[in-house]
Amino acid sequence: MYDSGKVIIGIAVFLAFVMFPFYINIGVVVEKPEPCLDTPVIQALEIKECVKPAHIMRATHIALLDNWKDLASRYGERLFVTEDKREFDISLQMTCMHCHSNYERFCMECHAFVAIDVGCWECHVVPEKETMR
């Protein structure tokens, strides 16, 4: 084999580079996100439940928001009835963020963990901190 020394060094450097994310994180303990439900509105709720069961919300709040966006802005529907017949106004700012007014300790807690940047706050207003994303 020609230049086996160089090739092997090359492969070693390549592997070191590609595996960088793995060994840089060895031993680092990443805490599970703990979205905080401690807001005045949720405290005052009789039934401490979201607009859908929590495990469904966790997995599909993205699709729900997408659907709400279309319902409100294209079809003019503003009433959302949950399966147990509670009624909500279809609105990101006035409904979701009314209960989850602790944006940073709730939505951001998870979103920072999965490193996503939700573009909605370019326009939608976050309670208190208006331009925070």
Partner 1 sequence: MISRRQFLKIAGISAACGIGMAATSSFIKAGASRSDDTRDRLIAKRWGMFIDTRKIDENDRERIINACHSIHNVPNFDNPRHAVKWIWTEEFIRAFPEQRGEFIAEKLIQKPILVLCNNCSNPPCVRVCPTQATFKRERDGLVLMDFHRCFGCRYCMAGCPYGARSFNFWDPKPYIEEINPEFPTRMMGVVEKCSFCYQRIDRGIIPACVEVSNGAMVVGDLSDPGSEIRILLREHITIRRRPELGTEPNVFYKI
Structure tokens at 97: 């963020």
Structure tokens at 114: 């999965």
Gap between the Cα atoms of 80 and 128, Å rounded? 25
Residue type, 71: L
User: Considering the rule CB under 6 A, would residue 132 count as an interface residue with ligand HEC?
Assistant: no
Residue among 120, 127, 130, 133 that touches ligand HEC (CB under 6 A): 120
Tell me the backbone φ, ψ of residue 88, rounded to 5 degrees: -130, 145
User: Considering the rule CB under 8 A, would residue 86 count as an interface residue with partner 1?
Assistant: no
User: Considering the rule CB under 6 A, would residue 57 count as an interface residue with ligand HEC?
Assistant: yes
Sign of the Cα torsion 9, 15, 21, 27 reads negative
Structure tokens at 58: 């966790």
User: Considering the rule CB under 6 A, would residue 105 count as an interface residue with ligand HEC?
Assistant: no
Contacting range for partner 1; rule: CB under 8 A; set: 1-9, 18-26, 68-76, 110-118: 68-76
If one counts every other C-beta atom within 10 angstroms of the C-beta of residue 78, the result is 12
Structure tokens at 100: 């989850």
User: Considering the rule CB under 6 A, would residue 101 count as an interface residue with ligand HEC?
Assistant: no
User: Considering the rule CB under 6 A, would residue 72 count as an interface residue with ligand HEC?
Assistant: yes
Residues that bind ligand HEC (CB under 6 A): 33, 35, 37, 42, 45, 48-51, 54, 57-58, 61-62, 64-65, 68-69, 72-73, 88, 90-93, 95-96, 99-100, 106-107, 110-111, 114, 116, 118-120, 122-124
